[in-house]
Amino acid sequence: GAGVSQSPSNKVTEKGKDVELRCDPISGHTALYWYRQSLGQGLEFLIYFQGNSAPDKSGLPSDRFSAERTGGSVSTLTIQRTQQEDSAVYLCASSLQAGVAYNEQFFGPGTRLTVL
Amino acid sequence: GNSVTQMEGPVTLSEEAFLTINCTYTATGYPSLFWYVQYPGEGLQLLLKATKADDKGSNKGFEATYRKETTSFHLEKGSVQVSDSAVYFCALTGAGGGNKLTFGTGTQLKVEL
């Protein structure tokens, strides 16, 4: 079956531009997570959704970052006025349901964002 | 808050050597513990997990035991192969919080013939 997919796989943008990153979770998975993997910060949590609601946005680094999820499926992470420190690999994961420890999170391949 | 500390890499071993990657954690309550692996050019994959104290997670010859008394979850394998070369991440999910993962910094393992 299809796994978590993310698009684009690579994105190069200029400082100050806005970018949108997309995540398609596994069908039937109600929980969706965004993480960021960067050289300086390692792997860090950004935000998660249960259905279309985002109970925890605590990892978003600034108000330039936002995310939404529609129809309990696709999610978009938007970064406004990108900065060079936003360069990282953005990972999306999904699981059957949040709040249940043994529900494995399945990760997508990531979007590599480079801000020039 | 929650945190995970794992040994620095890179770790270079000869094939068939014994592997230990240390991982300790700080968390309130009773977290679930995980090892994830990232093979070159691939995404993160769950390697093994343990959800309560004294549980042993195992997969592909790798093992880790949830030790609450030492707040540790060390990864071990008796005989590594070249194909085990990857980056290994220790992680936890704390009580509440929707099971967001807190990761260690990752340990790169290189296995040579």
pLDDT digit string (tens) for B26-65?
988 888 999 999 998 888 999 999 999 999 999 999 999 9
Instruction: Answer yes or no: do B102 and A105 touch at CB < 8 A.
Output: no
Question: Which residues of chain B make contact with A60, given a CB cutoff of 8 A?
Answer: none
Residue among B92, B85, B83, B80 at smallest CA distance from B108: B85
Residue B101 pairs in a beta bridge with: B93
Q: How far is CA A29 from the centre of its chain?
A: 15
Instruction: Answer yes or no: do B101 and A105 touch at CB < 8 A.
Output: yes
With CA atoms as reference, the chain A residue closest to B44 would be A107
* pLDDT number for residue B96: 61
Please give the Cα distance from A116 to B7 (Å, whole number).
33
Please give the Cα distance from B109 to A63 (Å, whole number).
37
Residue among B76, B109, B11, B6 at smallest CA distance from A42: B6
Q: Is B46 on the interface with A (CB under 8 A)?
A: yes
Q: Is A56 on the interface with B (CB under 8 A)?
A: yes
With CA atoms as reference, the chain A residue closest to B107 would be A42
Please give the Cα distance from A67 to A60 (Å, whole number).
9
- In tens, the pLDDT along B70-107 reads 999 999 999 999 999 999 999 998 766 667 899 999 99
- In tens, the pLDDT along A13-68 reads 999 999 999 999 999 999 999 999 998 778 999 999 999 999 889 999 999 999 99
* pLDDT number for residue B94: 76
With CA atoms as reference, the chain A residue closest to B31 would be A101
CA angle centred on A90, ends A86 and A92, rounded to 5°: 150
Question: Which residues of chain B make contact with A33, given a CB cutoff of 8 A?
Answer: 100-101
Q: B22: pLDDT confidence band, cut at 50, 70 and 90? A: very high
Q: How far is A5 from chain B (nearest CA, A)?
A: 11
* pLDDT number for residue B43: 87
Instruction: Answer yes or no: do A45 and B102 touch at CB < 8 A.
Output: yes
Residue A1 clears pLDDT 60, i.e. is over it: no
Q: Is A91 on the interface with B (CB under 8 A)?
A: yes
Residues 10-29 of A with CB under 8 A from B: none
Please give the Cα distance from B88 to B78 (Å, whole number).
16
Tokens 């300790």 correspond to B24
- From the list A31, A91, A102, the residue facing B44 with the nearest CB is A91
The residue count of chain B comes to 113
Instruction: Answer yes or no: do A35 and B101 touch at CB < 8 A.
Output: yes
